[in-house]
Amino acid sequence: MNSKIRNIFRLITCLAVLTQPARLCAQNLDASYMSAGGKLRPLQAIMDIRHNTLALDVDIKNQSIDGYMETDLILSKSTDTLLFDLVHLLRVHAIEVDKGKAEFVQTGDSIFVLNKAGFNAGKHTVRISYGGKPPVAVRPPWTGGFTWTTDKAGNPWVAISVQLQGAKMYYPCKDHPSDEPNEGVDMFITIPRGLSVAGPGLLQSVKNVANNKAVWHWKTNYTISNYCVVFDIAKYKVYTRPYTTVEGHQVPIQFYVLEVDSAQAREVLNIRARDTRILEKYFGEYPWYKEKIGIAEVPNSGMEHQTMITYGGENFNYKKYPGFNYSPNLFHEFTHEWWANKVTNKDWAHMWIQEGITTYAEALFFKETLGDAAYDSVMVSQHAGIRSQKPVVQAEELDMANVYNGDVYSKGSFFMHTLRHVIGDSVFFPALKKFVTDVKFPYDRFFTTKDMQVYFNTVSGKNLDALFDFYLRTTNTMDFELKQNRPDTWTLSIKNSPMDLPVDIQTSAGIIKTNIAANKSTPFRIISKTQPIVDPHGWYFKKVIIQ
């Protein structure tokens, strides 16, 4: 069933039984229809989230959580209703606004906080006490929720993955990528003593409390995406090595590895240091140098949780290359610290900015380690992976379920490759780095495709709008038709091209460098004893029909 129809159906069911919603709606344990983001609702558009404090007691045996989320927010205008998102499986016990008891209605996956007299414009603190059994992850990290499992030694191992379904899967929030808590997040996670919590930012304290439990306080002062506000619990050991950023800042690399996998720690730290150095070369200083470069081992393939990216699923079986190991999963999630966590898309419709450029970084890794031919072979395989069933950018303000597909990765990446050729290395590479590091683009800014378009037009001095549209807003390929007229004479017709672009043609006499016009009607004559090869380097997403 289409996820939207399913959502509406479930909401109607819940509304119809509003007198006893907890009992009946709780029977619907499926939360896989949920999707992050979408159209920003007016009640949430007036809220600017400033800071979150998440305090949860995690009952591993019962697979439940209990506690509160306290949110500091600024209302841009007065309202009689505040709206938060929370999966229906978790029940709200009480809500306080500015330390006073507040009326509320919890229905479906929404919480409406009500005040007939109105909440004035300005700053408010909302504390939502809640608890219950959060959704269990069906196929983490994609169909997410909580993973409750054990390590090889039988110790509890808990991980959270909520990027696709949204942080509302486990805490009350404004579940939209365009707003992050500007002043960061405090997390107080209570767990059985003897286990550890891996979280974002810096560990402030671990305090023993009653019932043989301990409270782990993690704090980040940086702005952070909702889905990165997560924690992992395990019998972890922490391995650390120092790292000096390209700008000279000292930041620790910390690996929260399962105690049973301790022998793997050294190589992960080595890989992390090397990959960070390469990523800094292309994208600038590690963005979160005031806190840490964190990694936590989890029982899934990993996610870009800010300052504590997660890693797992490969069983430490790296790809082997002469002189080095490579982990595609580690490298991908590392790269997201720049593209996703620092440069964040404003809504999921523009997810290619995060995933496409992160995927492109894989080619840059091989350019750096094995040379240009290795870069080229990555791009050939990414070209082959483009499906072109839907445009990469289909519209504006889309939720994750309508956006997520492979082309956001492969075609988004291939677009960067084409752009590199069109504007040239001397413009492209500095521009890419500047986009991440420029103080004009601070940590709390969000980006759309249009923002990137305007930026690359400015830095290149070219109008690239048609190229952006062609690659990102259509499923078209550049179409060429090559026809042999005589044994050594050919004509090349350009059937479809977004704009004037530089194209190489390989002939028996060498490479011809030419420019093709958009939808050029006059065929291009080529003299070659061998069949010419259009775009032999493979810079373009194209089809060549040989007649």
Least distance (Å) between residue 320 CB and Zn ion: 23
Reduce the DSSP state of residue 331 to 3 states and report it. helix
User: Under rule CB under 5 A, how many of the chain's residues touch Zn ion?
Assistant: 1
Residue nearer to Zn ion on the CB measure, 385 or 523: 385
Instruction: Residue 424: name the closest of 466, 468, 374, 460 by CA.
Output: 460
Options 274-282, 352-360, 441-449, 480-488: segment touching Zn ion (CB under 5 A): 352-360
Mask: binding to Zn ion, 206-245, rule CB under 5 A, as x and -? ----------------------------------------
Tell me the residue nearest to Zn ion as measured from the CB: 355
Least distance (Å) between residue 148 CB and Zn ion: 24
Look up tokens 């240091």; give the residue: 273
Element (H, E) at 510: strand 510-516
Residue nearer to Zn ion on the CB measure, 179 or 355: 355
Residue nearer to Zn ion on the CB measure, 291 or 355: 355
**Is the omega angle on the peptide bond into residue 287 within 30 degrees of 0, that is, cis?**
no
Residue nearer to Zn ion on the CB measure, 285 or 355: 355
Residue nearer to Zn ion on the CB measure, 297 or 355: 355
Residue nearer to Zn ion on the CB measure, 337 or 355: 355
Give the E-state strand segments of 41-184 in sequence order. 47-59, 64-75, 79-85, 90-97, 100-101, 103-107, 110-119, 122-132, 145-150, 156-161
Options 143-151, 347-355, 452-460, 515-523: segment touching Zn ion (CB under 5 A): 347-355
How far apart are the C-alpha atoms of 65 and 158, rounded to whole Å? 12
**Residues constituting the chain:** 547
Least distance (Å) between residue 389 CB and Zn ion: 20
Half-sphere exposure of 431 (CA within 13 A, CB side): 19
Least distance (Å) between residue 266 CB and Zn ion: 26
Residue nearer to Zn ion on the CB measure, 162 or 534: 162
User: In sequence order, what are the beta bridge partners of 490?
Assistant: 484, 526
In the chain, % helix, strand, coil (3-state, to 5) comes to 25, 35, 35
Q: Is 258 left (phi over 0), alpha (psi -120 to 50) or beta?
A: beta
Options 123-131, 349-357, 450-458, 532-540: segment touching Zn ion (CB under 5 A): 349-357
Kindly give the residue spans of alpha helices, DSSP state H, lying in 336-371. Answer: 352-369
Residue nearer to Zn ion on the CB measure, 363 or 501: 363
How far apart are the C-alpha atoms of 235 and 213, rounded to whole Å? 14
Give the E-state strand segments of 409-455 in sequence order. 446-447
Residue nearer to Zn ion on the CB measure, 54 or 295: 295
Least distance (Å) between residue 164 CB and Zn ion: 11
User: Binding to Zn ion (CB under 5 A): which residues in 355-384?
Assistant: 355
Least distance (Å) between residue 325 CB and Zn ion: 20
Options 353-361, 428-436, 483-491, 531-539: segment touching Zn ion (CB under 5 A): 353-361
Options 73-81, 272-280, 348-356, 397-405: segment touching Zn ion (CB under 5 A): 348-356
Least distance (Å) between residue 225 CB and Zn ion: 12
Least distance (Å) between residue 546 CB and Zn ion: 37
Least distance (Å) between residue 514 CB and Zn ion: 37
How far apart are the C-alpha atoms of 546 and 482, rounded to whole Å? 5
How far apart are the C-alpha atoms of 400 and 411, rounded to whole Å? 17
Reduce the DSSP state of residue 488 to 3 states and report it. coil
Element (H, E) at 249: none
Residue nearer to Zn ion on the CB measure, 181 or 356: 356
How far apart are the C-alpha atoms of 86 and 109, rounded to whole Å? 5
Residue nearer to Zn ion on the CB measure, 175 or 355: 355
Least distance (Å) between residue 399 CB and Zn ion: 17
Within 10 angstroms of residue 395's Cβ, the number of other Cβ atoms is 11
How far apart are the C-alpha atoms of 42 and 37, rounded to whole Å? 14
Least distance (Å) between residue 174 CB and Zn ion: 23
Instruction: Give the residues lining the site for Zn ion (CB under 5 A).
Output: 355
